Amino acid sequence: MDNPNGITRIETFGVEKIPDAERNATPFDLFRMIFGGANTFATAVLGSFPILFGLSFEAGVWAILLGVMTGAVILAPMGLFGPINGTNNAVSSGAHFGVHGRIVGSFLSLLTAIAFFSLSVWSSGDALIGGAKRLIGLPETDLTLGLAYGVFAILVLTVCLYGFRFLLWVNKVAVVSASVLFMLGIAAFAGPFDASYAGTLNPGTEGFWAAFIGSALVAMSNPVSFGAFLGDWARYIPRQTSKLHIMLAVVLSQVATLIPFLFGLATASIVAVKAPQYIAENNYVGGLLAISPSWFFLPVCLIATIGGMSTGTTSLYGTGLDMSSVFPRVLTRVRATLLIGVAAIVFIFIGRFAANLVQSVSTFAVLIITCTSPWMIIMIIGLINRRGFYCPDDLQVFTRGERGRRYWFHHGWNWRGLGAWIPSAVVGLLFVNLPGQFVGPLGEVAGGIDISLPITLGMAALLYSLLLRLFPEPIEVYGPARLNASATRGSPALISSNASLS
């Protein structure tokens, strides 16, 4: 008899509200999805950045802790939209950006997913072939690298086509196995590791704070990158589930990523001493393989394989889901996933072998996060302002090709949310400072320190709060408590509210 929750049953749900009978996931499942998607070499590479920037091991630890925990606090409320509305976060954003304005979230998700899917396949393929070269003498050529990329990409696409249950199973495996392999890495490098590694910068050195804050922001970008995707998985969690438990699962999943982060930091400090030429070339994976004992090459290959699968699937799955909602009359979830997956695979090969876009895509990923973070802040402030009240059925107006209802605002666009997001994202990009990659026109204002994320987050919070105060939203978007309070105060409040920007 066919198991309706089996991992080989192709998921048929798109972005429509998941029926209550099908919502049997738990906050622990959400933890495994997030942590599994980040427990990879890609995160270890992010952990190497403090050393690449010249910091000491101790300063690197503090920078990573600051970035991860700040990002986790911002990310945590994004896990609530899925259980409340039974759909993904892009569709939920229609409550604050309008049922047409929600396409902003969809395209941010698309760009983020393709960038991180590509980076995941590239880094995992390079690590796999590099480890196999030292383990069994496999030649490291364009052909072997291409085969590795192709295998990873096809496996990831297959898992995503089957859907959420298969995806959850992959990440259950990834959480345990990759963690064990990273722990083996502690044994592999315990001997040469020196926690007193001093780096080239200290608090009294010019450029130290720029490197420290830059490292913290790189670490912060990892949790922020999940913001648009949490609803893809959390929509299977029952609505009545404790909000505290959901947010705690999100925060703990980010705390758990300290395993690959600190692995990357520690091993990068060893590379800086034993093989500094790799640090000079910003080639952490190559340096790691150069200093690894021979018995660790097999774990390297396994981490690359598991990590490539888990990160790739969490990125690509949500993109197919989103695109099916943008073009609901043309694309089902499976068709959209197949279309985006094939396009991403083509991009991976062209970007790696024909155009050498690896570093450019890394830069692009950071820029997309700069645009995604103010979108998240607007969603969170909107959640608080509405006191968690949403009408899931009215969020599906765009998907069903209808008009009107409570989130229609101005022809489907809510200019309060868009009016805060557009200038915040633009100004944030102006302040980006990624030396050697991208420096915005205002990137040097803070003495070389990248302050783009604090600027864009603060500006989004200020502008959106101000717009909500100056132009109150229609009273019908609020819950019964707000409606009753307004009725008690009298009709002028209702008239003023409905006359604003709607």
Judge whether 75 lies within some domain: yes
Domain count, the chain: 1
In a domain, 373, yes or no: no
Q: What is the mean pLDDT of residues 67-88?
A: 92
Q: What is the pLDDT of residue 14?
A: 63
Q: What tens digit of pLDDT does each residue of 179-237 get?
A: 888 888 888 888 888 999 988 888 878 878 888 888 888 888 889 888 888 888 888 89
Give yes or no for residue 460 having a pLDDT over 90: yes
Q: What three-state secondary structure class fits 434?
A: strand
Supply the CATH number for residue 203's domain. Answer: 1.10.4160.10
**Is the pLDDT score of 325 beyond 90?**
no
| Long-range contacts, stretch 138-143, CB < 8 angstroms, 24+ apart | 142/353
Q: What is the pLDDT of residue 118?
A: 80
Helix (H) or strand (E) holding 439: strand 438-439
| Cβ atoms of 35 and 253 closer than 8 Å | yes
Q: Assess whether pLDDT exceeds 50 at residue 61.
A: yes
Sign of CA dihedral 290, 114, 109, 457: positive
Q: In Å, how far are 79, 282, 363 from 421, measured between CA atoms?
A: 20, 34, 21
User: Is residue 437 in a domain?
Assistant: no
d(CA 182, CA 187): 9
pLDDT at position 498? 41
What amino acid is encoded at 159 in this protein? Answer: V
Residue 305 inside a domain? The answer is yes
Mean pLDDT computed over 59-75: 94
**What percent of the chain shows pLDDT beyond 70?**
90
Task: Please report whether residue 396 resides in a domain.
Answer: no
**DSSP label at residue 77:** G
pLDDT at res. 484: 62
In a domain, 55, yes or no: yes
In a domain, 285, yes or no: yes
Question: Is the predicted pLDDT of residue 155 greater than 50, yes or no?
Answer: yes
Range of the domain at 244: 30-357
Block residue for tokens 């569709």: 91
Write out the DSSP string of 90-139: HHHTHHHH-TTTTHHHHHHHHHHHHHHHHHHHHHHHHHHHHHHHHHH---
Residue 176 lies in a domain: yes
Identify which of 50-54, 107-111, 112-116 has the greatest average pLDDT.
50-54
**Is the C-alpha dihedral spanning 47, 50, 56, 58 positive or negative?**
negative
Q: How many CA atoms lie within 13 A of 289 on its CB side?
A: 22
